[in-house]
């Protein structure tokens, strides 16, 4: 009795199989995470949603609806605040990417604004090669790229494109 077998490689079937890698293994809502080190609160992360792609060759955790991060000093005081419209964490690399309306505010009230930022957990630094705007009490500094410690206490701006000094309006 003859047996005939046929195989098909329809492009839609192949694409459907390939795209299954981009289906999250886990979806979490109303995230509120606390990270501590030696019983000292170090980070607080809140987000409306997190999608976990742990099955990928390079696993990632996607915060597609934005994220807020509070960094805490060893004294337990809130040190720095970071927010963005979208974020991705790559756990193997210990790297975060923040995208869209990224803001970082340090304990001195200095504010960084950019569209893209990389937070390196291992190096405890934040950086970007994109346009940045830093507002301090006395000036607004604009540039292309920067690097700072994760507390945004000490920073360096690359390719400064402008500085605007803000006058103190106390006599009004």
Q: Phi/psi zone of residue 93: left (φ > 0), alpha (ψ -120 to 50 degrees), beta?
A: alpha
Q: What is the pLDDT of residue 39?
A: 84
Residue 172: pLDDT over 50: no
Residue 85 has φ and ψ, to the nearest 5°, of: -75, -20
pTM over 0.75: yes
Which residue blocks in the chain are alpha helix, DSSP H? Answer: 11-19
Name the least confident of 47-51, 96-100, 148-152: 148-152
Asked which of 18-22, 34-38, 117-121, 143-147 is least confident by mean pLDDT, the reply is 18-22
DSSP H/E element including 25: none
Return the structure tokens found at 10.
């329809």
Mean pLDDT of 42-60: 94
Contact 134, 111 (CB under 8 A): yes
Q: Residue 143 burial (CB < 10 Å; 0-12/13-18/19+)?
A: buried
Confidence of residue 164 (pLDDT cuts 50, 70, 90): confident
User: What are 104-132's pLDDT values in tens digits?
Assistant: 999 999 999 999 999 999 999 999 999 99
- Average of per-residue pLDDT values in the chain: 86
The domains located in the chain, with CATH, are 24-165 (2.60.450.10)
Alpha-carbon distance of 160 to 67, in angstroms, equals: 28
Say if residues 67 and 45 touch (Cβ distance below 8 Å): yes
Terminal C-alpha separation, the chain: 101
Band of pLDDT at residue 163, cut at 50, 70 and 90: confident
Please, which pLDDT band fits residue 137 given cuts at 50, 70 and 90?
A: confident
């Amino acid at each position: 009795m003859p047996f005939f077998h046929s195989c098909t490689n329809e492009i839609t079937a192949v694409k459907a199989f390939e795209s299954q890698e981009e289906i999250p293994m886990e979806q979490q809502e109303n995230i509120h995470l606390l990270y501590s080190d030696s019983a000292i609160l170090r980070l607080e992360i809140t987000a409306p949603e997190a999608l976990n792609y742990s099955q990928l060759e390079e696993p990632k955790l996607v915060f597609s609806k934005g994220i807020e991060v509070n960094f805490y000093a060893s004294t337990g005081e809130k040190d720095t605040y970071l927010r963005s419209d979208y974020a991705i964490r790559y756990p193997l690399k210990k790297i975060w990417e923040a995208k869209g309306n990224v803001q970082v505010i340090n304990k001195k009230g200095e504010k960084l604004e950019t569209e893209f930022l990389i937070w390196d957990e291992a190096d405890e630094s934040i950086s970007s090669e994109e346009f940045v705007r830093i507002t301090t009490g006395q000036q607004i500094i604009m540039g292309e790229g920067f690097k700072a410690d994760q507390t945004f206490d000490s920073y360096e701006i690359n390719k400064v494109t402008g500085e605007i000094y803000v006058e103190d309006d106390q006599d009004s």
